[in-house]
Amino acid sequence: MTTMAKKITINDVADAAGVSVTTVSLVLSGKGRISAATGTRVNEAIEKLGFVRNRQAASLRGGQSGVIGLIVRDLCNSFYAELTAGLTDELEKQGKLLCLTQSGAKGQHMQRCFETLIAQGVDGIIIAGAAGQGAELRELAEQKNLPLVFASRASYLDEVDIIRPDNMQAAQLVTEHLIKRGHQRIAWIGGRGSSLTRAERLGGYCSTLLKFGLPFHSEWIIECESSQKQAADAITTLLHQNPTITAVLCHNSTIAMGAWFGLLRAGRQSGEGSLDSYYDRHVALAAFAEVTDDELDDLPLTWVSTPAREIGRSAGQRILARAKNGDDEVRNQIMPARLVLRSS
C-alpha cells in the first residue's frame, strides 16, 4: 500500500526555523526587515524539509502577488459592505484579487488579521474602520515595508493615507435642506455617544442650526442603538415630550425605518387616518444612507448619501498606485455626500 508523502507547508518551515509564519513569508517575498541570521535559518529549514515554493511565493519574490488585503470590522455593516463592493470592482478591473478578513466588532482580531494577510503575501493592505489603532498599524506596516491605506467612516488619523466621507458636510447639507423647507425645530435620533462618525455628523448638524439662528436643545439629541424597535420607541417619546418638533434627522437607515414605524404608531394614536397625512402635517424624517440609490427604502424621506462604494474604488486605486510606484506622499481624501430626495 502506497502512502502519500505529507505536503510541507509554510507552517512546517516556521516551526523548524523557530520563527513565525509571517517571518517565513517575509523571507520568501524579500520584504520587511529580516536579519541575515534569521534569513539563513529560514532558508536552511526550507532546504532541509524540501519545501517547494509555489507560484504565489515565486511571484512574491518578484514583488507582486496580485492580491490586496482588506480588513473590515463587520461586513454586515452597510457602509463596509458597499465599500468592499466598490473595492472589488476596482481590483477586478486591474486584474487583481481581494483577500478579505474581519477583525471583529471591536477590532479585537486586528493583529491576527494583519499577520494573516502578510503571510499570504499581499501587495498591500486596506484597513476599514480602525481609527483607534491607526498609529500602531501604520508602524507595523512600515516595519514590513508594506503599502497601507485606511478607508474609514470617520477618522482623526494624521500622516497616513486615508479616504473617508465628509460627515460634517453631509450633516450640514441635509440640515440646511430641512431648514429651507421651513423646519425650525429639528431633532436627532441614533448613534452611540462613543461614535466618531456620530460626533462629526452632530458637529455639522449643530453648526448649521447656529448658522441659521435656530434653537439647539441637548434633550432633542437622542442616543439609540441601531434597532428599529428602539428608534420607534425613541421618536414616540421624543415627540410626546416635545410636540413642537417638526423634523427628525436619523443616524442611519435602520433608525430611519424605526422612526417611520414610530410615526405610524403616533399617527394612529392621534386619530390620523393615514401615515401620509400625519407625516405631511406634523413631522418630516431625514436620514444618512450608505447604500446606492436603488437600494434605499422606498419611503418619503430625505436621504443624504455617503459614497461608500466610491470610497472603496478610490481605496483600490490608491493602494495599487502605492504598491506599484512606492509613492510616499500621504494623501487625505475626503468624499462629499449628496442629497437623495424621495416623494410620497
CATH number at residue 251: 3.40.50.2300
Residues 6+ apart with CB under 8 A from 299: 256, 257, 260, 285, 342
User: Within a domain: residue 51?
Assistant: yes
- The CATH number of residue 17's host domain is 1.10.260.40
- pTM of the prediction? 0.76
Q: Which of 61, 77, 104 is the last residue of a domain?
A: 61
Pair (224, 264) in one structural domain: yes
Tally of residues, the chain: 344
User: Within a domain: residue 268?
Assistant: yes
Q: What is the spatial distance between Cα 183 and Cα 286, in angstroms, rounded to a whole number?
A: 12
Pair (192, 279) in one structural domain: yes
Mark 322-343 as b/e (b = at least 16 C-beta within 10 Å).
bbeeeeeeeeeeebebeeeeee
Pair (293, 314) in one structural domain: no
Q: Is the dihedral of CA 95, 99, 102, 107 positive or negative?
A: negative
Q: What is the spatial distance between Cα 62 and Cα 147, in angstroms, rounded to a whole number?
A: 16
Pair (230, 298) in one structural domain: yes
User: Within a domain: residue 1?
Assistant: no
Full domain range(s) for residue 228: 167-305
Pair (130, 180) in one structural domain: no
Q: What is the spatial distance between Cα 310 and Cα 333, in angstroms, rounded to a whole number?
A: 12
Pair (160, 176) in one structural domain: no
Q: Which of 28, 46, 61 is the last residue of a domain?
A: 61
Q: What angle do CA 47, 48, 52 make, to 5 degrees?
A: 45
H-assigned helices in 77-133: 78-93, 110-119
Domain count, the chain: 3
Pair (72, 141) in one structural domain: yes
Pair (243, 255) in one structural domain: yes
Q: What is the spatial distance between Cα 156 and Cα 234, in angstroms, rounded to a whole number?
A: 30
Give pLDDT tens digits along the chain (344 positions).
444 446 677 788 888 999 887 788 777 766 667 788 888 888 888 888 877 655 444 444 445 678 999 999 888 888 899 999 999 999 999 888 899 999 887 778 888 888 888 888 899 999 997 656 677 888 888 888 889 999 988 876 777 788 999 999 999 999 999 999 999 999 999 999 888 899 999 999 999 999 999 988 999 999 999 999 999 999 999 998 999 999 999 999 899 999 999 988 876 454 454 544 455 457 899 999 887 766 666 777 899 998 899 999 999 999 999 888 766 677 888 999 999 886 54
338-341/302-305 β-pairing? antiparallel
Pair (171, 299) in one structural domain: yes
SS3 247: strand
